[in-house]
Amino acid sequence: MTVASPSTSAAFRYKIADISLAEAGRHQLRLAENEMPGLMALRTEFGESKPLAGARIAGSLHMTVQTAVLIETLVALGAQVRWASCNIFSTQDDAAAAIAVGPTGTADAPAGVPVFAWKGETLVEYWWCTTQIFDWSDEAAAAGETWTGPNLILDDGGDATMLVHKGREFEQARAVPADSDSDSQEYGVILAALRVSLAASSDRWTGVAADLLGVTEETTTGVHRLYELAAGESLLFPAINVNDSVTKSKFDNKYGIRHSLPDGLNRATDVLIGGKVVFVAGYGDVGKGAAEALKGQGARVIVSEIDPINALQAAMDGFQVARLESVVEDVDIFVSGTGNFNVIRTEHMLRMKHLAIIANVGHFDNEIDMAALEVLAGAEKVQIKPQVDEWRLPSGRSILVLSEGRLMNLGNATGHPSFVMSNSFTNQVLAQIELYCYPEKYPVGVYVLPKYLDEKVARLHLNALGVELTVLSPEQADYLGIPVDGPYKVDHYRY
Amino acid sequence: MTVASPSTSAAFRYKIADISLAEAGRHQLRLAENEMPGLMALRTEFGESKPLAGARIAGSLHMTVQTAVLIETLVALGAQVRWASCNIFSTQDDAAAAIAVGPTGTADAPAGVPVFAWKGETLVEYWWCTTQIFDWSDEAAAAGETWTGPNLILDDGGDATMLVHKGREFEQARAVPADSDSDSQEYGVILAALRVSLAASSDRWTGVAADLLGVTEETTTGVHRLYELAAGESLLFPAINVNDSVTKSKFDNKYGIRHSLPDGLNRATDVLIGGKVVFVAGYGDVGKGAAEALKGQGARVIVSEIDPINALQAAMDGFQVARLESVVEDVDIFVSGTGNFNVIRTEHMLRMKHLAIIANVGHFDNEIDMAALEVLAGAEKVQIKPQVDEWRLPSGRSILVLSEGRLMNLGNATGHPSFVMSNSFTNQVLAQIELYCYPEKYPVGVYVLPKYLDEKVARLHLNALGVELTVLSPEQADYLGIPVDGPYKVDHYRY
Amino acid sequence: MTVASPSTSAAFRYKIADISLAEAGRHQLRLAENEMPGLMALRTEFGESKPLAGARIAGSLHMTVQTAVLIETLVALGAQVRWASCNIFSTQDDAAAAIAVGPTGTADAPAGVPVFAWKGETLVEYWWCTTQIFDWSDEAAAAGETWTGPNLILDDGGDATMLVHKGREFEQARAVPADSDSDSQEYGVILAALRVSLAASSDRWTGVAADLLGVTEETTTGVHRLYELAAGESLLFPAINVNDSVTKSKFDNKYGIRHSLPDGLNRATDVLIGGKVVFVAGYGDVGKGAAEALKGQGARVIVSEIDPINALQAAMDGFQVARLESVVEDVDIFVSGTGNFNVIRTEHMLRMKHLAIIANVGHFDNEIDMAALEVLAGAEKVQIKPQVDEWRLPSGRSILVLSEGRLMNLGNATGHPSFVMSNSFTNQVLAQIELYCYPEKYPVGVYVLPKYLDEKVARLHLNALGVELTVLSPEQADYLGIPVDGPYKVDHYRY
Amino acid sequence: MTVASPSTSAAFRYKIADISLAEAGRHQLRLAENEMPGLMALRTEFGESKPLAGARIAGSLHMTVQTAVLIETLVALGAQVRWASCNIFSTQDDAAAAIAVGPTGTADAPAGVPVFAWKGETLVEYWWCTTQIFDWSDEAAAAGETWTGPNLILDDGGDATMLVHKGREFEQARAVPADSDSDSQEYGVILAALRVSLAASSDRWTGVAADLLGVTEETTTGVHRLYELAAGESLLFPAINVNDSVTKSKFDNKYGIRHSLPDGLNRATDVLIGGKVVFVAGYGDVGKGAAEALKGQGARVIVSEIDPINALQAAMDGFQVARLESVVEDVDIFVSGTGNFNVIRTEHMLRMKHLAIIANVGHFDNEIDMAALEVLAGAEKVQIKPQVDEWRLPSGRSILVLSEGRLMNLGNATGHPSFVMSNSFTNQVLAQIELYCYPEKYPVGVYVLPKYLDEKVARLHLNALGVELTVLSPEQADYLGIPVDGPYKVDHYRY
């Protein structure tokens, strides 16, 4: 395995791009803390009682500035943490450096958190990083303990969780399957990594799985995998679905994309969005945020949907709803936010306008059929700048593909902004506390956070926006049949 | 009991304002049918099989043009129907006339449906009308049957359901309670009506309740009552919560209000909305629709909320969120859409600008504390035109109260437009079919419609809007783990 | 000539629909005064000095509630006034009654202004009414004066001005031309009226023209006619172009239509605007207001334009820009706001969807080719309700035409709201004062109001909206090279 | 004078940051050409006739990618060009490199245009660069000519024009004034440069001025200076006011800022705009674009204005209009777009929230009183990253100042996007052609381009946006009294 050689340190092992970026990163963290009132409030509320003392958290989540504030919040609440990114392009190298150095360390004497992440990892490097968050032998040695893995996973997209499940599955089967033609390139990398692991130990992942109190997962896709595991009775430990907290799915997915999609388009291409025809595949929370942002910039937005309810919403919100096939020649910018695969295919690309832009804000890079593009006869890739490729097509026209078809709001911009992430991450921290402090409430299965915690997350963010909340009188609460302090809505309420 | 004397007929008993309005009403019905593709599709799908043959439906729902299309759809599917409005101001008299006359009758020989509704009922008249939909003695006699009540209720707001429950409760107790000072005026009217009933029969409502297969209910408030009854184990028959179909709550509540709130304001006052400061109490679906409509007209909208999640949504949507007390002097138009009571009180009214407007689009008239206004010393009411009253206050300023504090989108305009209601009413018809045809699926309790029916309702409305739905390939459906034809989302998905 | 017989009075001659509506009209006026701060401020500023004492104003402008406040402002400033509407459908009969009765009169003893206007005039009646505002013989007799006409015209659309010009032209030619096949039906009515006049007097209009100090005109179309007359050296008296005051054209045309277009659509059809495809012909101020209103209601708006600059603006504002021919089959609602003629033609109508709606908010009814529709073989008109006609077409489909193709925001709603009209009418009053008090500043020609008066109109409306204006420091004013109190912009500034 | 030492070349003199960036810059140019259809159309139309052959253009305009396409268009039309930026931070170094290298040159053998510009010039360097565009001695020598200066200026902000005027003025006076305490720091730099010039030559600028056929100027501020010079009879040569072409002021100023303001905020701070309270000073075209952009991102926008007409527009568009003093504590982001000076002062800064952001999109850095901030006792500047400074204030709170108070859309982002600039720059090229080819049409004075050229600019940009323009029929053109091909509007039309 070849790994690029970013900075490491004698103090503890980590691997990042450049430790000297720590000061720049620390500036960013300081600004971000001002925008993450939920996390800062948790530090105030739980900084002394340290409910996460003893927690060993393996984190797999975009190593951005915002995640850095999350990590330091977990530490402030008593946890030990190891971290990797969950996307090869999403690391902000200055944030990673600041986390390695820590608030009290220096570049020469880092005193932060073991972090394994840099912008522009190869797939092999990516999965190597992911395995590092499960290797707690140094910490165990330092503590004189026998455990060697984490007791909690904090996941985004489910890669860390999947690694444990696959690792244990192959250990049970005593063999890692051979590569199959139908597998993705990435799955081949995973199998290779697990082959190495199985050769080295027959029960490493079995042991890791046994120690885990659970996982908190924050994406639609990761949650979908968890429900599938639970439905198939293969889930190995409890899981809290943070994605479906209202303050996550309706905030991160919608308002985060509303911010970071145009940001990424601008940084990548500087193309005027106003007046352009933009196609948004999917009108879930992500698509709603995307469509609103682009409309707010004066674009004409066309939406596609498979679900008649979401399609009707799009129409009622004033958008044309059409199949990609019907409008592909008229579109300047294609945005995919579906969670599906092969949404934008080479058959579409060949019909696109010259220099049409393709941007994925869904989940995996396979929303765009990059695999087919890469083997398309007569297609040639010219890098315009990092994460922006011109593909010259046999149609005689070019298209611009952002972040190689992966999440462009992370690859071409800096991901969702701090305030949005503060909502998501406050849910994450509360979920970690639930799993660690109240394991009896969570037998193996998938859970959402109780509504009063969801409301608490919102409440912690109101003051920063100058929101005055109206308070029910006891008579009104009685009339409505709800407590003055909430929760205020029935569980199936949709917001 | 004094009842105004609208038209009646020898053919069958009904009571409406003016049978001669039937032709004008029929014109409106014809136009509305073009805007109600869901209902018309049900007529096509079920017009021959007549799944509601034998159903006796007591309907309590605003007697508008749209409801008329619903009623004739129920009849086309085989049902017998009796109808009252669920609001004293919401009847459109031409629609009521058209329904009484029916598509084949004439004003001289009505051949429609027994309907008891006119615009501007007194409370006494209102509850008299409601009792009429439970009196099926004429129909029973004509059919040579022994039943004398309905076997289904189609309800909006729960008044019809409440009447049955209260009637049976007092029959069980063998007494109607005395009026209490703390009761509303309206509750006194109900008690009076039930006293008359109890004097005439000791088991009328007990019998009615026993015959009922269930109720389908379409408002937040009515549904709330049903869940309370169910929680208190007092619910007498199954209930389908139509309100929480996505195609109802997220369409009728939001897009309906978006249309009918400015419509009602305009018809009532002709006041320019642009540039005005508008206060919207509540940011649920109704509040969201209200705020969007007013923003779309150039108003500056201030929102109030008790729920921190909804408050955060309002802030993220760009609205100031404040308590009424903090801003009352700056506001030109007050809109209440909470479902709560005493939201706008006389203490607020006395601080309002001259000719500030108060509009209720929530549910009951007690969102505005009309009871206190009516007894406020020094306050004087001057009717500007029907449903628009100037209240001259001891502050030396006047305020304009629309529809006496009741639903102004019904009282000052014509309610939600046909297309929106087609969504809601298609849910109603499907729910009636479920209760009538599959009673075994619904033991006493409160249910929502299954998601595939919700998606069906949406699907029936896409074509009229020119929406092209994208179809999953089998590979994509497999990748997502969902059927090609849906349902597409997990139950807790929030849209 | 047959004229319907509305109310008249012994006190002075007038002709309206129903004098008994005066009290209802007075309620409306009182509310409107609260929404017309500019006019009320002029009453305060000039109520004592009465700068219009001696002015005899012939007004031809939609006889609405707002115009009533204008009329009473002119009277408060000392003027005598006679009034007709400038559209056969635009009179609000209660407002006309209130104006006839006056603030101090009663229905039995009217003490207001001679007004000749009712909703639903025939063309013959319309031009009869227009001639009445030029007959000041009663006033002259009462005053013991020899003049018999006005000294000022207050015009909207230019009909009154045109009548004077044509009347004088034919008197000079000593003959009224014969009807020509190419003339519109309406022009035939005008010729007939002038033939009667010429038979009675050879110099009536010549005398009227000689007495006139000028006209103030407030529409695009009327102003266009004035510039044509001036360019052809045919203009008989000075004209102030009120339309091109910023506080008129950018407010009335844009914000007025934004309000009254959806209002008219709702009152006429109750059709849900959300989700519909709407075609807006023209993207001038009227089209901009129309498009914004419909977008704000969730419609998908397609714009057409002939001017590449306006077309580019529409595209940059996010709208599809297309020719009518390209999209006619997809459109649910057609809105014409061009000032052009034959914009929507029968060739288009025959391709329209069933029950497509046609609404004119431009100027004349010939924006829609109503003349061709009325003689279209196989077309049949069915009145749904007043001002709403279903036309059953040989295509087998129907279309709905509002207000017979005339201005539907006046015919189907109540015109622009008071606040908008307060801006326009404050300009009108200031322009009347300019012409009457400073005739030396205005040789025959067409003028716009000086910018400081335009700014004054705006300034008078800020307080009502809670606007805090920032005040330049003397240093800042010096830096910018403008006075602290304005005017602030160069003449060619476009706002 | 100390000048940083960027790349230079033997082939011809230029000064930029890094010639090796040329290939990266060329990629950007290629993409930009696709977004600048107006300029590319001019290359097609005039590439053979070369109307600018013999023109020597001194350009002073932000040296961005878009300007590079402008420069190469001027060259394609036959002109010789020398270039400097008009802002110390606005140069994109890769674009400058590409321009120096030219389309056919290499980094080793540049074959482009002499350009003097790099990101981050000092004031001394800035004015040195500006003087370089007036030194055509190399070109004269190569051509065997006696002239040594340009015959045209292409200006943005008026610095180049001012330099010529001041230079000549001091030559006439035979002395450069001494520095005065009341002068800005920058004016001192200019005086110093002119002292050096006057010492070297007594008539350099007099000669430059004599050779100039004119200037085309594209900003509000620069145009304002020109009108002042003309009013004072000090203007030395004709000037075309490109700023007031509709396709400039209504496009660049409005739609450009709509794009580049949020872009700059995002790149500088990554702060979520949604939910924030933003203050926009000024509601001209720049302020309108700013407010729309921020509203489109879910911010709550408060506007300030000195002009009652613009203030009324802001209110009618739904914005709160308030003085800065009234709301400063509630605001998260301050945007200044006035053209005025000292709009945001230290008295305001001291009251701001912690980490409030200050962004200037007006013109000069003195919109923000940076001079006072820099000498504020107890204030400390901490650079977060280039062009983003945290100022720690004696209030105990910090504020973030972007681009040292200069134009942050240029300093923190990449300026207005190509499509917008294509409109502005197509006007520039047409204006240069007018001055050079038709000098007889332009005696000394300030002119706007004729409307048909303005319409032509728009027309050249429609196709790229898929706009279908409607074409008048001859009958319609006749009805309207305008040519079928335009111009379509009266000169005072405001769009």
A364 or D264, which is more confident = D264
Residues within 8 A of D (CB atoms), C 463-482 only: 465-473, 475-476, 479-481
Residues within 8 A of D (CB atoms), B 244-273 only: none
The H-assigned helical ranges of D174-306 are 185-200, 204-211, 220-231, 246-248, 257-269, 285-296
In sequence order, what are the residues at sequence separation of 6 or more whose Cβ sits closer than 8 angstroms to the Cβ of residue C89?
A: C119, C120, C121, C387, C403, C404, C406, C407, C410, C411
What pLDDT score was predicted for residue B32? 96
Query: Please, which chains are in contact with B (at least 3 CB pairs closer than 8 A)?
Result: A, C, D
CB count in 10 Å sphere of residue B179: 13
| C322 pLDDT more than 70 | yes
The mean pLDDT of chain C is 95
Query: If DSSP codes are grouped into helix, strand and coil, which group holds residue A85?
Result: coil
- If you average pLDDT over residues C302-319, what whole number do you get? 98
What pLDDT score was predicted for residue A220? 85
Take residue C489 and report the two structure tokens written for it.
Answer: 């912009």
pLDDT more than 90, % of chain A: 92
Asked if A317's CB is within 8 angstroms of C300's CB, the reply is: no
What pLDDT score was predicted for residue A44? 97
A436-465 pLDDT tens trace? 999 999 999 999 999 999 999 999 999 999
How many whole angstroms separate alpha carbon A157 and alpha carbon A201? 26
In sequence order, what are the residues at sequence separation of 6 or more whose Cβ sits closer than 8 angstroms to the Cβ of residue D393?
A: D349, D350, D376, D378, D379, D399
pLDDT classification of B38: cutoffs 50, 70, 90? very high
Domains of chain A: 19-247+416-451 (3.40.50.1480), 257-412 (3.40.50.720)
| C6 pLDDT more than 60 | no
Query: How close is the nearest chain A Cα to the Cα of D20, in Å?
Result: 14
Take residue A451 and report the two structure tokens written for it.
Answer: 């509504």
| D76 pLDDT more than 90 | yes
State how far Cα B23 lies from the chain centre.
25
Q: Confirm or deny that D64 is annotated as ligand binding.
A: yes
How many whole angstroms separate alpha carbon B45 and alpha carbon A79? 61
Nearest chain D residue to A386 by CA distance is D24
Asked if D316's CB is within 8 angstroms of B274's CB, the reply is: yes
D307-318 pLDDT tens trace? 999 999 999 999
CA distance from start to end of chain D: 48
Q: Confirm or deny that A250 is annotated as ligand binding.
A: no
B123-168 pLDDT tens trace? 999 999 999 999 999 999 999 999 999 999 999 999 999 999 999 9
Q: Which residue has the tokens 């009814």?
A: C365
Strand-pairing partners, residue B283, are none
Partner residue opposite B462 with nearest CB, options A308, A323, A481: A308
Query: How close is the nearest chain A Cα to the Cα of C315, in Å?
Result: 5
pLDDT more than 90, % of chain D: 92
Query: If DSSP codes are grouped into helix, strand and coil, which group holds residue B6?
Result: coil
A466-476 pLDDT tens trace? 999 999 999 99
Phi, psi for D225 (deg, rounded to 5): -60, -40
Asked if B489's CB is within 8 angstroms of A494's CB, the reply is: no
Query: Please, which chains are in contact with C (at least 3 CB pairs closer than 8 A)?
Result: A, B, D
From chain C, the residues in CB contact with D458 under 8 A are 308-309, 311-312
Query: How close is the nearest chain A Cα to the Cα of B306, in Å?
Result: 5
C375-427 pLDDT tens trace? 999 999 999 999 999 999 999 999 999 999 999 998 899 888 999 999 999 99
Phi, psi for B383 (deg, rounded to 5): -75, 125
- If you average pLDDT over residues A151-172, what whole number do you get? 97
Mutate to test the interface with B, among A470, A478, A479, A482 (most CBs of B within 10 A): A470
In sequence order, what are the residues at sequence separation of 6 or more whose Cβ sits closer than 8 angstroms to the Cβ of residue D12?
A: D110, D114, D138
Query: If DSSP codes are grouped into helix, strand and coil, which group holds residue A187?
Result: helix
What pLDDT score was predicted for residue B221? 84
How many whole angstroms separate alpha carbon B342 and alpha carbon B345? 6
Strands (E), B306-368: 320-321, 333-336, 356-360
How many whole angstroms separate alpha carbon B428 and alpha carbon B245? 10
B343-390 pLDDT tens trace? 999 999 999 999 999 999 998 889 999 999 999 999 999 999 999 999
Q: Confirm or deny that D362 is annotated as ligand binding.
A: no
From chain C, the residues in CB contact with B24 under 8 A are 385
Q: What does DSSP say about strands B380-385 and B446-447: parallel, antiparallel, or unpaired?
A: unpaired
Nearest chain D residue to B274 by CA distance is D316
Partner residue opposite C298 with nearest CB, options A274, A300, A317: A317
- If you average pLDDT over residues C324-346, what whole number do you get? 97
The answer to whether the beta carbons of residues C257 and C290 sit under 8 Å apart is yes
Asked if C247's CB is within 8 angstroms of D340's CB, the reply is: no
Nearest chain B residue to D316 by CA distance is B275
Asked if A318's CB is within 8 angstroms of C298's CB, the reply is: yes
Closest CA to D87 of D25, D159, D28: D159
What pLDDT score was predicted for residue C5? 46
How many whole angstroms separate alpha carbon B132 and alpha carbon B58? 9
| B8 pLDDT more than 60 | no
In sequence order, what are the residues at sequence separation of 6 or more whose Cβ sits closer than 8 angstroms to the Cβ of residue A281?
A: A287, A303, A304, A324, A334, A335, A336, A337, A338, A343, A344, A362, A367, B470
A204-252 pLDDT tens trace? 999 999 999 999 999 888 998 999 999 999 999 999 999 999 999 899 9
From chain B, the residues in CB contact with A465 under 8 A are 312, 315, 321
Residues within 8 A of A (CB atoms), D 42-101 only: 65
What pLDDT score was predicted for residue A1? 33
Residues within 8 A of B (CB atoms), C 133-152 only: none
ipTM of the complex: 0.93
| Residue D24 contacts A, CB cutoff 8 Å | yes
Asked if C469's CB is within 8 angstroms of D495's CB, the reply is: no
Query: How close is the nearest chain D Cα to the Cα of B486, in Å?
Result: 33
C172-221 pLDDT tens trace? 999 999 988 877 889 999 999 999 999 999 999 999 999 999 999 999 88
Q: Confirm or deny that A286 is annotated as ligand binding.
A: yes
From chain B, the residues in CB contact with C35 under 8 A are 271-272
Take residue A199 and report the two structure tokens written for it.
Answer: 């050769």
Q: What is the DSSP string of D295-339?
A: HHTTPEEEEE-SSHHHHHHHHHTT-EE--HHHHGGG-SEEEE-SS
The H-assigned helical ranges of B212-330 are 220-231, 246-248, 257-269, 285-296, 308-316, 324-327
From chain C, the residues in CB contact with A301 under 8 A are 318
Asked if D494's CB is within 8 angstroms of C495's CB, the reply is: yes
| A4 pLDDT more than 50 | no
pLDDT more than 90, % of chain C: 92
Asked if B272's CB is within 8 angstroms of C259's CB, the reply is: yes
The answer to whether the beta carbons of residues B284 and A489 sit under 8 Å apart is no
Instruction: Write the burial class of residue B241 (CB in 10 Å: 0-12 exposed, 13-18 middle, 19+ buried).
Output: buried
| A6 pLDDT more than 60 | no
The mean pLDDT of chain A is 95
| A7 pLDDT more than 70 | no
Asked if B458's CB is within 8 angstroms of A309's CB, the reply is: yes
Residues within 8 A of C (CB atoms), D 180-219 only: none
The answer to whether the beta carbons of residues D282 and D338 sit under 8 Å apart is yes
Asked if B318's CB is within 8 angstroms of D298's CB, the reply is: yes
| Residue D317 contacts B, CB cutoff 8 Å | yes
Partner residue opposite C262 with nearest CB, options B31, B262, B414: B262
From chain C, the residues in CB contact with A274 under 8 A are 316, 318
- Give the number of beta-carbon pairs within 8 Å between B and D: 32
From chain B, the residues in CB contact with A255 under 8 A are 316
How many whole angstroms separate alpha carbon D458 and alpha carbon D445? 26
What pLDDT score was predicted for residue B12? 84
What pLDDT score was predicted for residue B1? 33
How many whole angstroms separate alpha carbon A360 and alpha carbon A337? 6
| C1 pLDDT more than 50 | no
Q: Confirm or deny that A451 is annotated as ligand binding.
A: no
Residues C165, C170, C171, C172, CA torsion sign? positive
| Residue D321 contacts B, CB cutoff 8 Å | no
Partner residue opposite B300 with nearest CB, options D275, D298, D319: D319
pLDDT more than 70, % of chain B: 98
